[in-house]
């Protein structure tokens, strides 16, 4: 399967030192027609609607795979196409049909699921990325591919993790994220493909729940609180991780792709941060709004091992300096909004 998806790509035999073709090196990239691969996932479902509200419904194509078809507003508000990241020809066809200039590559298995299916995680994360980058090179598209706090490992400085530092993750998720960062930089340096990326923390949203991540507890806890249930926490007290509310994450996706390329010293991938907390702190933040809420710890060994290998909090000064990253939500304001939106919906 992996070999197939690679041989479908049409590689160019360039030398290592060839200069980028440069289309995006000096000029500001303008997003006109956008393809989102993985449009029905946790980030994709909200990013698609967000981009449609900015660039116009007809200019944002929701790419999905069989079994994860868009529904409701996502389906009705704009174009949708099957777009399987493991099939380079399929991606190229959609890109040409809609004259796509920007691809958001959001197809991935999250950290816990990836540990159970390492080959599939690599096949989607790296084989798929390679397909996207080749199609982007041939069609002069810009590409956004998220990395993660999972790209760091136990040897990384855990507190205020610098932008450029040790990246020796222990999970296949992290290994594919680091490889993805390097491959994206390679395509920028060698071919001038306008690749950009952020290292997402755990993302918290009241719309589409995540599936199979280490940070999912910080979403699940709100659902338990609103349903009046006791929350069973799989992550140990004292385990700090960076987290972010989805509206800030969506802004990061748009802001970075619109950033002036002449200001970007880094590309793949930027540390971004807005809040860092451990389970007891989010529990207390919820209890301020819902005093009867209860939580008990039943630590999941796999999730805990992954969480313990990740940083406590990232230093995001490069993102702030190079493209004016400036998140709006902290733990309190996110908690108030999450509880209000979930209560209204559930």
Collapsing DSSP to helix, strand or coil, 263 comes out as helix
**Distance (Å, whole) CA 263 – CA 272:** 17
List alpha helices for 31-110, DSSP H: 42-55, 72-76, 88-97
**Cα distance from N-terminal residue to C-terminal residue, the chain:** 41
Instruction: Tell me whether the omega of the peptide bond preceding residue 269 falls within 30 degrees of 0, making it cis.
Output: yes
Do residues 204 and 245 lie in contact, with contact meaning Cβ atoms separated by under 8 Å?
yes
Options 29-37, 116-124, 209-217, 322-330: segment touching ligand AKB (CB under 6 A): 209-217
**Cβ-based nearer residue to ligand AKB, 64 or 173:** 173
Binders in 79-118 for ligand AKB, by CB under 6 A: 110-111
Q: How far is the CB of 327 from ligand AKB (least distance, A)?
A: 16
To the nearest whole angstrom, how small is the minimum distance from the Cβ of residue 321 to ligand AKB?
A: 23
| Smallest separation, CB 291 to ligand AKB (Å) | 29
Phi and psi (nearest 5°) for 203? -100, 135
- Binding residues for ligand AKB restricted to 111-150, rule: CB under 6 A: 111, 148-150
Q: How many residues touch ligand AKB (CB under 6 A)?
A: 12
Instruction: Please select the residue that binds ligand AKB; options are 63, 169, 192, 202, rule is CB under 6 A.
Output: 202
Residue 276 binds to ligand AKB (criterion: CB under 6 A):
no
**How far is the C-alpha of 75 from the C-alpha of 329, rounded, in Å?**
29
Give 201 or 279: the residue with its C-beta nearer to ligand AKB.
201
Q: How far apart are CA 83 and CA 105, in angstroms?
A: 11
Site membership for ligand AKB, residue 214 (CB under 6 A): yes
Question: Is residue 213 a contact point for ligand AKB (CB under 6 A)?
Answer: yes
Distance in angstroms (rounded) separating the CA atoms of residues 136 and 103: 8
Give the residue numbers annotated as catalytic, written as ranges.
173
Residue closest to ligand AKB (Cβ):
213
Name the site residues for ligand AKB (rule: CB under 6 A): 110-111, 148-150, 173, 200-202, 213-215
């Amino acid at each position: 399967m992996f070999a197939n998806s690679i041989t479908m790509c049409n590689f160019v035999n360039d030398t290592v030192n060839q200069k980028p073709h440069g289309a995006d090196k000096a000029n500001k990239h303008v997003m006109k027609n956008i393809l989102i691969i993985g449009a029905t996932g946790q980030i994709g479902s909200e990013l698609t609607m967000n981009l449609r509200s900015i660039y116009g419904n007809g200019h944002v194509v929701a790419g999905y795979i069989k079994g994860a078809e868009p529904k409701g507003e996502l389906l009705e508000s704009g174009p949708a196409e099957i777009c399987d990241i493991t099939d380079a020809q399929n991606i190229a066809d959609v890109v040409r049909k809609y004259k796509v200039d920007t691809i958001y590559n959001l197809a991935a298995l999250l950290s816990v699921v990836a540990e159970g299916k390492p080959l599939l995680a690599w096949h989607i994360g790296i084989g798929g990325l390679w397909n996207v980058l080749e199609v982007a090179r041939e069609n002069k598209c810009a590409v956004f591919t998220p990395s993660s706090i999972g790209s760091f490992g136990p040897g990384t400085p855990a507190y205020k993790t610098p932008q450029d530092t040790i990246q020796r993750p222990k999970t296949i998720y992290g290994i594919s994220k680091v490889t993805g960062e390097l491959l994206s930089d390679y395509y920028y340096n060698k071919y001038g493909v306008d690749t950009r990326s952020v290292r997402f923390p755990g993302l918290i949203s009241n719309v589409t729940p995540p599936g199979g991540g280490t940070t999912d507890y910080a979403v699940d806890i709100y659902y338990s609180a609103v349903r009046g249930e006791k929350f069973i926490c799989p992550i140990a007290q004292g385990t700090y991780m960076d987290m972010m509310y989805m509206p800030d994450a969506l802004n990061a996706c748009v802001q970075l792709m619109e950033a002036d390329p002449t200001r970007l010293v880094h590309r793949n991938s930027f540390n971004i941060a807005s809040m860092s907390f451990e389970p007891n702190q989010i529990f207390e933040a919820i209890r301020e709004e819902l005093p009867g809420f209860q939580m008990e710890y039943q630590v999941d060994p796999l999730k805990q091992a992954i969480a313990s290998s990740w940083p406590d909090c990232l230093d995001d000064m490069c993102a702030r300096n190079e493209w004016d990253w400036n998140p709006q939500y902290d733990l309190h304001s996110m908690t108030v909004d999450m509880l209000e939106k979930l209560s209204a919906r559930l």
